[in-house]
């Protein structure tokens, strides 16, 4: 019998992975991870606003409660004066009652009710209603904060999962193939950038970070995500940007691609989930992804969405 084992074709499990297919899958996973990361950044900004509102609401509620207690004391004192010399057993219940609705109900059953000054009673009812509204608003905002905190955890978990999947695909490749994927689209940083003023300061900072790591949610000093890098770069020029690529689209006037100048923010994908800093000559510097970190690339290396000029 002639042995033919050596002529058997490789099984799918033994076949080498197609580098083009792996590249496309890695790109998709990195993009999905970045989308989740930028949603995480958006949610953090929203959470900051909600927590600030909640603090103000609680302070307002406290002031309203103080106003309510003052009027409540005045009403109680008025009832006591009406009952001078009489049995105060019912009055005692009114004075110690903490619930506004119960307090009003008790007042309505007392024979002294009609003798109370109408304006004092109206003030009590108004203050009680105002306090109830503030308490309800505080509770609603606290619930929103809790819901958003859950969303933050979910977005972080999504980003971590996609990143782990991409890493697993890259780990299955040979070192040369892995380097080919990770270095795709990366160009050498220019020796000189035609920029001046605040834009020059932003570009100088961003280019100094080339080679740093990409970490979701990071904004330096040695690791960045895309919006963290642009935020810190323009901070060197005294311009405050939010840590979110979509939020940064509102940081200045919109610029046509043909009118780009060094320092402009360039946005990618729809909806926007990536931002870079234009450095001139058709190039950008950006925190690309966890595989390549901060690099210089061509402005058209990703699906272009728009641009703004900060400041």
Residue-range domain boundaries for the chain: 19-171, 187-308
More confident residue, 110 or 130: 130
- Note the helical H segments in the chain: 19-82, 89-96, 100-108, 118-171, 175-182, 197-208, 226-235, 245-248
Checking if the pLDDT of 94 tops 50, the result is no
Q: Can you tell me the mean pLDDT for 101-130? A: 62
Residue 254 falls in the annotated catalytic set = no
Backbone angles phi, psi at 246, to 5 degrees: -65, -35
**CB atoms closer than 10 angstroms to residue 129:** 12
Checking if the pLDDT of 258 tops 80, the result is yes
Given the residues 31, 243, 254, 274, select the one marked as catalytic: 274
Checking if the pLDDT of 233 tops 60, the result is yes
Tokens of 59: 């302070």
More confident residue, 43 or 82: 43
What torsion do the CA atoms of 75, 79, 80, 81 make, to the nearest 10 degrees? 100
What pLDDT shows up at residue 106?
A: 60
pLDDT band at 218 (very low <50, low <70, confident <90, very high): very high
Given the residues 31, 243, 254, 286, select the one marked as catalytic: 286
Angle at which helix 118-171 crosses helix 100-108, to 10 degrees, equals 160
Q: Can you tell me the mean pLDDT for 134-141? A: 81
Answer yes or no: pTM beyond 0.75. Answer: no
pLDDT band at 178 (very low <50, low <70, confident <90, very high): low
What pLDDT shows up at residue 245?
A: 96
| Cα-to-chain-centroid distance, residue 291 | 24
Q: Which of 76-90, 119-133, 139-153, 238-252 is least confident?
A: 76-90
Given the residues 31, 226, 243, 254, select the one marked as catalytic: 226
Task: Look up the CATH architecture of domain 187-308.
Answer: Alpha-Beta Complex (3.90)
What pLDDT shows up at residue 55?
A: 82
Checking if the pLDDT of 236 tops 50, the result is yes
Instruction: Judge if the upstream peptide bond of residue 221 is cis by omega within 30 degrees of 0.
Output: yes
Are 88 and 39 contacting, i.e. CB atoms less than 8 angstroms apart?
Answer: no
Which DSSP letter does residue 88 get? Answer: -
Q: Can you tell me the mean pLDDT for 72-90? A: 60
Task: Quote the CA–CA distance of 117 and 99 in Å, as a whole number.
Answer: 21
Residue 274 falls in the annotated catalytic set = yes
| C-alpha to C-alpha distances, 188 to 135, 211, 237, nearest whole angstrom | 59, 11, 25
Strands 213-214 and 223-224 turn out to be parallel
User: How many CA atoms lie within 13 Å of 256's alpha carbon, on the beta-carbon side?
Assistant: 2
Q: Can you tell me the mean pLDDT for 35-50? A: 85
Q: Which of 12-21, 213-222, 227-236 is least confident?
A: 12-21
Checking if the pLDDT of 237 tops 70, the result is yes
What pLDDT shows up at residue 296?
A: 93
What pLDDT shows up at residue 9?
A: 45
Q: What is the CATH number of domain 19-171?
A: 1.10.287
What pLDDT shows up at residue 14?
A: 47
pLDDT band at 144 (very low <50, low <70, confident <90, very high): confident
Q: How many residues would you count in the chain? A: 311
Residue 243 falls in the annotated catalytic set = no
What pLDDT shows up at residue 87?
A: 46
- What strands lie across the sheet with 274-280, from one edge to the other? 186-187, 293-298, 283-289, 274-280, 265-268, 304-308
| Cα-to-chain-centroid distance, residue 94 | 48
Task: Quote the CA–CA distance of 306 and 311 in Å, as a whole number.
Answer: 17
Q: Can you tell me the mean pLDDT for 58-81? A: 75
What pLDDT shows up at residue 309?
A: 97
């Amino acid at each position: 019998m002639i042995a033919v084992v050596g002529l058997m074709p490789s099984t799918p499990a033994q076949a080498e992975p197609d580098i083009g297919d792996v590249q496309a899958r890695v790109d998709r996973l990195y993009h999905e991870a970045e989308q989740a990361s930028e949603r995480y950044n958006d949610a953090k900004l929203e959470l900051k606003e909600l927590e600030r509102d909640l603090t103000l609401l609680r302070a307002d509620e406290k002031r309203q409660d103080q106003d309510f207690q003052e009027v409540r004391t005045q009403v109680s004192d008025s009832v006591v004066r009406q009952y001078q010399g009489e049995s105060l057993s019912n009055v005692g219940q009114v004075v110690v009652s903490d619930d506004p609705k119960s307090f009003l109900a008790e007042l309505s059953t007392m024979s002294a009710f009609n003798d109370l000054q109408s304006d004092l009673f109206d003030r009590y009812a108004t203050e009680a209603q105002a306090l109830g509204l503030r308490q309800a608003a505080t509770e609603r905002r606290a619930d929103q904060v809790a819901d958003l905190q859950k969303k933050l955890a979910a977005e972080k978990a999504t980003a971590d999962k996609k990143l782990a999947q991409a890493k697993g695909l890259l780990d299955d490749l040979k070192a040369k193939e892995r380097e080919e994927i990770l270095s795709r689209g990366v160009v050498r940083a220019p020796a000189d950038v035609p920029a001046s003023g605040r834009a020059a300061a932003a570009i100088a900072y961003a280019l100094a970070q080339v080679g740093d790591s990409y970490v979701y949610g990071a904004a330096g000093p040695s690791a960045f995500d895309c919006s963290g890098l642009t935020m810190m770069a323009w901070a060197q020029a005294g311009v405050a940007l939010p840590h979110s690529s979509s939020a940064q689209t509102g940081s200045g006037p919109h610029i046509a691609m043909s009118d780009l100048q060094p320092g402009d923010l360039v946005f990618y994908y729809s909806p926007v989930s990536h931002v870079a800093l234009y450095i001139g000559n058709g190039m950008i510097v950006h925190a690309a992804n966890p595989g390549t970190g901060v690099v210089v690339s061509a402005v058209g290396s990703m699906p272009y969405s728009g641009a703004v000029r900060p400041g």
